[in-house]
């Protein structure tokens, strides 16, 4: 469970209360019909639910109170991300949080309140965790492009990010265009094209914000596979074949144990990574370790879950398939397992 990502009794209790409060928005046993209803539509999210998320104070959870945030740490952020992952919420919680983390003290009040959804545009390659360049600025206007912007059609404002600065632009400003592509889970990403767009320049971004987003995505994958596994266990107990529940067959029991081991290992690595992040130490290696494991484990667990359901598991009507589709989208986001293994091997500093 998400609360297990915290360490220390006092903090564990705080995270547990936070997770319990999230159940009203992101219930682990909730009906997935609302999620299905939003698939392959535009903007692909529920504004009412986004208002609830904002009202709960989830946005800016890592920002200090002096900047309008909650002043909490990575453990709390990861716990919420895990619940969002388990509920398969399409709302871009991690992306909005990334934008706020990148802006820091410059984050506008309407972004923290949820009145305006600010989404970051920072990537120009299909894999990696490196801020793209290629933005030109002249007389308060910027030009260039950013690719793979999740849920871009829902944005009110884009935060265009490069190594030297960030810029806020209105999503409907002159010179802004989107090339949208659907993703397997029913969401979308977009290429953001800028042609002389009026922009507000902010200070250079905090690179640790991307590490936090990678850890949050790993946590979402953990929540996703935990729920997929729970659904599968229920199916093994109720699906009868040859006169008994299929969960009685030893071959399936062995595979189920393998799935639980993968989930447990992911949870343990994530707990270490979250603790390291909150110390302020170099967390790049352990972030890569956690993200690589979460990506690989989520793909294994959700694929096995679909197979355990038999032929029905491969149909679009079966809810279990939604978890596999979301895992296929989240696994490469903020760096694929292959990217993070390579980065881990190339780093010599920081906690392994």
Predicted local confidence at residue 348, as pLDDT:
87
What does the pLDDT read at residue 248? 83
The H or E element containing residue 113 is helix 109-113
pTM over 0.85: yes
Looking at residue 168, its pLDDT comes to: 98
Mean pLDDT by runs of 10 across the 352 residues of the chain is: 63 86 89 95 96 92 90 94 97 97 94 96 94 95 98 98 96 98 97 98 93 98 98 93 86 95 97 93 95 98 96 94 98 98 91 76
Return d(Cα 118, Cα 127) in angstroms, integer: 22
For the chain, domains (ranges, CATH) are 2-113 (1.10.540.10), 118-202 (2.40.110.10), 208-346 (1.20.140.10)
The pLDDT, as a whole number, for residue 54 is: 93
Rg (CA), the chain: 20
Quick check: 94 and 193 in contact, CB under 8 A? no
CA angle 186, 188, 191 (to 5 degrees): 165
Report which DSSP code applies to 351.
-
- Residue 207 is predicted with a pLDDT of 86
**Three-state DSSP string of 128-161:** CCCCCCCCEEECCEEEEEEEEEECHHHCCEEEEE
């Amino acid at each position: 469970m998400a609360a297990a990502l915290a360490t220390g009794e006092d903090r564990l209790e705080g995270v547990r209360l936070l997770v319990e409060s999230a159940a009203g928005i992101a219930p682990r046993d909730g009906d997935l019909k609302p999620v299905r209803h939003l698939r392959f539509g535009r903007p692909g999210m529920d504004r009412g639910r986004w208002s609830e998320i904002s009202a709960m104070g989830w946005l800016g959870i890592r920002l200090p109170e002096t900047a309008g945030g909650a002043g909490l740490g990575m453990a709390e952020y990861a716990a919420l991300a895990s619940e969002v992952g388990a509920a398969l919420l399409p709302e871009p919680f991690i992306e909005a949080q990334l934008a706020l983390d990148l802006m820091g003290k410059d984050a506008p009040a309407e972004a923290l309140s949820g009145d305006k959804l600010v989404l970051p545009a920072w990537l120009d390659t299909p894999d990696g965790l490196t801020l793209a360049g290629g933005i030109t600025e002249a007389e308060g206007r910027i030009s260039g492009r950013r690719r793979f912007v999740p849920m871009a059609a829902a944005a009110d404002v884009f935060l265009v990010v490069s190594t030297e600065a960030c810029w806020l632009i209105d999503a409907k400003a002159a010179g802004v265009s989107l090339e949208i592509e659907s993703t397997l889970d029913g969401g979308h990403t977009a290429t953001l094209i800028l042609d002389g767009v009026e922009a507000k320049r902010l200070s250079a971004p905090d690179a640790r914000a991307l590490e936090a987003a990678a850890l949050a995505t790993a946590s979402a994958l953990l929540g996703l596979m935990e729920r997929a596994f729970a659904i599968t266990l229920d199916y093994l107990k109720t699906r009868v074949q040859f006169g008994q529940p299929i969960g009685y067959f030893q071959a399936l029991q062995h595979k189920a144990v393998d799935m639980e081991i993968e989930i447990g290992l992911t949870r343990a690595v994530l707990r270490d990574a979250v603790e390291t992040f909150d110390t302020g130490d170099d967390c790049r290696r352990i972030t890569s370790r956690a993200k690589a494991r979460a990506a690989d484990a989520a793909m294994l667990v959700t694929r096995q879950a679909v197979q355990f359901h038999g032929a029905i598991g491969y149909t679009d009507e079966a809810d279990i398939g939604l978890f596999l589709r979301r895992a296929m989208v989240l696994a490469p986001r903020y760096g694929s397992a292959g990217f993070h293994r390579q980065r881990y091997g190339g780093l010599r500093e920081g906690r392994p």
